[in-house]
Amino acid sequence: MWLSAIFLLGILSGNESFGQSKDFLLLKRGTNQKSQIRFYPGEEITYLSDKLDYFITDQIVSLDKEFVYLTENILRIDNIKAIDIRNKDPRNRTLKNMSALFLGAGVILISVESINSIYQTEQLSVDPGVGMISAALIGTGIALLPLRYKTFKNEGRNKIQIIQMRMD
């Protein structure tokens, strides 16, 4: 009995949209749902406006049909040129993990080869094939580091929409 009450209480307290609106700013490219990014009220957003030539970071307070209300500004969707998505896009985490994987594999391979050579011959030596493979792995990891999705430009197939989900 207590277990079911605790479970029910956990479900109700974990659902933050219970009895509240769940509005969000949707960055959408085409119909692919994997490339959609959502910004909710309370989150920080870094944007480039038509009126300014530099990015501004502000916090979303609320959303209306056509306007985004920020702590320092009110924006119309049409006035947004680009949004910085470096920390928001889940594809960036995948690229970061892949680069870490290649770097780690190259470092582990060269380390294991070095430790084995010291253990067996009491001298530090690396087989040329292992050295080339580990260098290729480390080089691939370093080459993947700058590949990130940086900005979402509001042009072409890219669309910024305000989605209002009211529970009245």
Q: Are 109 and 52 in the same domain?
A: no
State yes or no: pLDDT of 1 exceeds 60: no
140 and 153 belong to one structural domain? no
Same domain? For 115 and 104 the reply is yes
- 17 φ, ψ (degrees, to nearest 5): -95, 10
Residue 69 lies in a domain: yes
Q: What value does the mean pLDDT of the chain take?
A: 82
If asked whether residues 125 and 153 sit together in one domain, one would say: no
Residue 8 confidence (pLDDT): 46
Domain count, the chain: 2
On whether both 40 and 80 belong to a single domain, the answer is yes
128 and 49 together in one domain: no
CA dihedral over 3, 5, 7, 10, signed as positive or negative? negative
Q: Is residue 114 located within the same domain as residue 61?
A: no
Cβ 8 vs Cβ 137: under 8 Å: no
One domain, residues 96 and 75: no
The reply to whether 72 and 103 lie within a common domain is no
User: How confident is the model over 21-55, as pLDDT tens digits?
Assistant: 588 888 887 777 777 888 889 899 999 988 888 99
Considering the entire predicted model, what is its pTM? 0.64
Q: What is the span of the domain harbouring residue 58?
A: 18-87+149-163
